[in-house]
Amino acid sequence: MQLNNPKLFNKSSFINGQWLTSDESFTVVNPADEQNICQISEVTSEQVEQAVNSAYTALSGWQALTVDERSEKMRRWYELIVENKDDLAKIMTAEQGKPLKEASGEVLYGAKYIQWYSEEAKRINGDVLPINQKGRRALVLKRPIGVVTAITPWNFPGAMILRKASAALAAGCCMVVKPSELTPLSALALAQLSQEAGIPEGVFNVVVGSQSQAIGEILTMHPKVAKFSFTGSTAVGKKLLHQCASTVKKTSMELGGNAPFIAFEDADLEAVVKGAMGSKFRNAGQTCVCANRIFVHASIHEQFVTKLAEKVAELKVGDGYLEGVEIGPLIEPKAIAKVEKLVKQAIESGARVVAGGEKIASKGNFYQPTILTGVTPEMDIFNTEIFGPVAAIIKFESEEEVIRLANQTEYGLCSYAYTQSLNRMWRLSENLQFGMVGINEGVLSNPAAPFGGIKESGMGREGGRWGIEDYLETRYVCLGNVE
């Protein structure tokens, strides 16, 4: 992996502006060829404690800066990320596997959050309440909550960090983030650039290690931590919430998804196929908002399946560094095993394979882009977050039926629907039980908009003015004896 800026390739935790090593290490593996990329120094419990304490110490200095000064440093971080996007994409493709073009897109997408929140820092406003008692005045202030810790996933190793850090730093908080041990290199590269941007020591810290439970306990239970943010599975999120309860921390949870993608009889079929391809097969289906259950009206079912199969047949699968590759590997062998199990069970229960359906017999964690029809609510694949390039298609007859089936899940992160009816758009917006609804659009994330779910998909929002609220506390000030 040849980088223009070799300083971006780091192999130890970044704490209080220093790169700290230890006697233990773990291995980062390229999922495309199963070769070891490097050894990473394993963070110790003492170093994680040091990171939290460093963030706590840095709070006063970071908050003492004017909003313009904080904004300028964040803006410089954004500019450096953009300047180094090619190197950052190479690092991401090596450790995560997604195609280089897609990795570059993620880098720029994540950078947009830094850009947006560098300006939003100037718009944290309080209130002066109307006088309702003589001699008193009432103020409402918005104050940074304090030290923020976060655990982020491997599927978007850059963007998930920047989405959290941008709002936290803009609010005046300091941060300690633990990236997935499968993809720590992207996080460490971002830490290097934060230092080059002039973000002070202790404001942004990255701890890397494979001992997730031990690290997580410190990040969720430390008394100096005021807020914890997590993106990952619902099962792990529940455990972390339980740990946060011990000190009543504020939390943000972006958890699992089981997104419905609905194509009605009046939909623009070409737009539906394009949307399904973008939503389902982006990052080899390894996204929490990707189409997990594709509902197609009976009247257009055969046409849709035919057109989707044609597009899927054109997808090039392979190492993300190779020209023209659109589908990279799954992250690890366990991910392949999960997809294989879901597909096998579906077929045994009556589903039909239209395309793909097998692991690609080569080195690396590659699975064929797959289409299954005849999927029913009784199958595991209907009720489980697939996290692989498998399109599970369900035929439906009526709007009432498909809304019931779409909502038939404990998850409530994202949903998609294609229709030309304005009345139906309103009904879907109100009746689909998901935190986000895309109408005639398969990719809907936006730095200015709130991202997050309901039900067991979590709580809190990232993005927009709603995202920064999770890093602020509301303080009421009553001034008495005012003449």
| Catalytic choice (254, 326, 385, 399) | 254
Q: What are phi and psi of 58, to 5 degrees?
A: -75, -15
Tell me which amino acid residue 467 is: G
288 is catalytic: yes
Read off the tokens for 125.
């406003």
397 is catalytic: no
Measure the CA–CA gap between 40 and 37, rounded to whole angstroms: 10
| Catalytic choice (173, 174, 244, 288) | 288
CA 415 to chain CA centroid, Å, is 16
The full 3-state SS of the chain, as one line of letters, equals CCCCCHHHCCCCEEECCEEECCCCEEEEECCCCCCEEEEEECCCHHHHHHHHHHHHHHHHHHHHCCHHHHHHHHHHHHHHHHHCHHHHHHHHHHHHCCCHHHHHHHHHHHHHHHHHHHHHHHHCCCEEECCCCCCCEEEEEEEECCEEEEECCCCCCCHHHHHHHHHHHHHCCEEEEECCCCCCHHHHHHHHHHHHCCCCCCCEEECCCCCHHHHHHHHHHCCCEEEEEEECCHHHHHHHHHHHHCCCCEEEEECCCCEEEEECCCCCHHHHHHHHHHHHHHHHHCCCCCEEEEEEECCCHHHHHHHHHHHHHHCCECCCCCCCCCECCCCCHHHHHHHHHHHHHHHHCCCEEEECCCECCCCCCCECCEEEECCCCCCHHHHCCCCCCEEEEEEECCHHHHHHHHCCCCEECEEEEECCCHHHHHHHHHHCCCCEEEECCCCCCCCCCCECCEECCEECCECHHHHHHCCEEEEEEEECCCC
Token look-up 């579906």 returns 346
Instruction: Return the active site residues.
Output: 254, 288
